[in-house]
Structure 1
Amino acid sequence: MHLPHDAARVDVENRIDKTATLTKESAFFAFPFALDNPVVHTEATGGILGTVRETVPGSATHMRAIRRWISLSDDTHHAALATAGAPLVQLGGIVIPYAPYPQSLPQEEPGTVFSWMHSNIWDTNFPAQQAFHHTFRYSIAITEADEKAAGPIDRLAARTTALTSHPLVPVRARAETRAGLPAQTRFLTLDHPRYGSWA
């Protein structure tokens, strides 16, 4: 699968070495696209969500969970952002995650995607301290809004993702043909004083 010949593409690796703290914190990578009031689509499992598409009533409007990509398009350009390791994004600003979810930035940036890489703000089962060393990888493609050259924006996003994602490849394994195979077999045995014995 190839990108349109006129598309510009770049891969980004952000390496983070984070120390632990009990202070409430979260971190984002910002991807500012110079687009005016873009139409936004996000890939979800089994479909595409986005601008002027129906959503479940009462669902979050300040963040989006993406499967692999988010696309933005205006009258002049199409842009696609693909990621495998940071599927939670916010568009236009960073919202404080408590009702009524106010914006924390001084102005709305409708063409900016904020990719959320970690948080201990939510009072859920997230660890109170988060320390890690991790590389977050992104692919970005941009092309002019020429239907003949680029095709639909969702196709550009899917092609951007396909260049860097590595889906599971099934491999069929055949057992040897021999007589007397056991009716059952054991792959794992667990013996623990708290949980008992399992096989």
Structure 2
Amino acid sequence: MTNTPANRRAWSAAASVFAIVGALLMTHSAYAQVRYCHCRFKESPWEAYGTRAACTAVTGNGGTSCNISFGGAGADPNVVGAVTGESNASYRGRFYEILFRYLTLYRQRNREALADPAFLQSALVMFMRGGYLRNKIGADLKQVDGAVVAFVAQNTKEISDVFLGKRASFSKDIKGAKFTVEQGAIRMDTKGLQLLTVYLPREK
């Protein structure tokens, strides 16, 4: 890579992103009970862990496989197109835009902005899709995606309130999937797939 101003700016931006991602991997005193996204396999004691925020873990194929995504990364472009109908270029552009905004707000510790319903609706769907829009998951991905999109769209305000500690956890069934919203996290159980998205770490 040549040492041009544009490339220096790119490296600087990348360094900032990696610094924030590193912070997500570490326990901070501001959070009392650290929770990581994780998969529990069919046969104990095996488990797999991701980060403590902006992370989705999907257990599929009868509890024998695990996919962990950070910030929505990892979705298969071919699966994205087949399931959502969105072009790879459009999806990739939205992914970077959402992740950069999330990381910026996270670094600022701006939980209110992170949980703002307008941003939350886009970010949650993107983060959750990163875990299941892949090959060989062992589930009906169009059904899963339809349930995710519908649940988040219909309950964004309620999800925001739970994430900010303004209301109690709740569960709802929609399109063949059960969703449970906890402080900072969403769980989904449906045929062939279990998903956990940890959007925000718990506060003290």
Name the TM-score class by shorter chain.
Answer: under 0.3
TM, length-normalised to structure 2: 0.22
Q: Which has the higher contact order (CA 8 A, sep 6+)?
A: 1
1 or 2, which has the higher helix percentage?
2
Higher share of residues assigned strand: 1
TM-score (normalised: structure 1): 0.23
